[in-house]
Amino acid sequence: MNGKSDAVKRTDKELERLDQNRLFAPAVDIFENQDEILMRADMPGVTLETVKIHFEKNQLAMEGTCTCLPEHENDPGFTYARKFVVPGGIDADRISADLKHGVLTLHLPKHDALRPRHITVKAG
């Protein structure tokens, strides 16, 4: 053993980059109406193949990687990521999302039991 660490023996191409997972928090607009919570996240450069959405135990995580603007050949791009605590009453089976022109839109429908409803009063 010559006293050199393994990192010193590696070539520059083999070294790990510290900035490999650059994270940015995308701007998100959140709207609520009687039927759903609507979220719109600005994620330019993200594709359907690189976007991930996960909902579990009232926590929503969204992530998307942009590789379209590399600074140099080995640039992995960057990742947008946000996590939210969502109020109870969301129907997880009906959550939907679409990505169009760099905007990720999430529809989080409320359970029917939580929706306001009109009650008709009858004369007795």
Pairing of strands 78-85, 96-100: unpaired
Which residues are within 8 A (CB) of 98 and not within 5 positions of it... i.e. 6 or more apart?
104, 105
Q: Which fold has domain 21-112?
A: Immunoglobulin-like (2.60.40)
Map out the domains of the chain as residue ranges: 21-112
What pLDDT is stored for residue 115 in this prediction? 65
pLDDT below 50 — which residues of the chain? 1, 3-7
What pLDDT is stored for residue 37 in this prediction? 94
pTM of the shown model: 0.71
pLDDT in tens, 39-60: 999 999 899 999 999 999 999 9
What pLDDT is stored for residue 120 in this prediction? 82
Which residues are within 8 A (CB) of 14 and not within 5 positions of it... i.e. 6 or more apart?
none
What pLDDT is stored for residue 88 in this prediction? 86
117 token code pair: 């409803």
- Give CA separation, 101 vs 24, 67, 83, 106, 108, in Å: 18, 15, 22, 14, 21
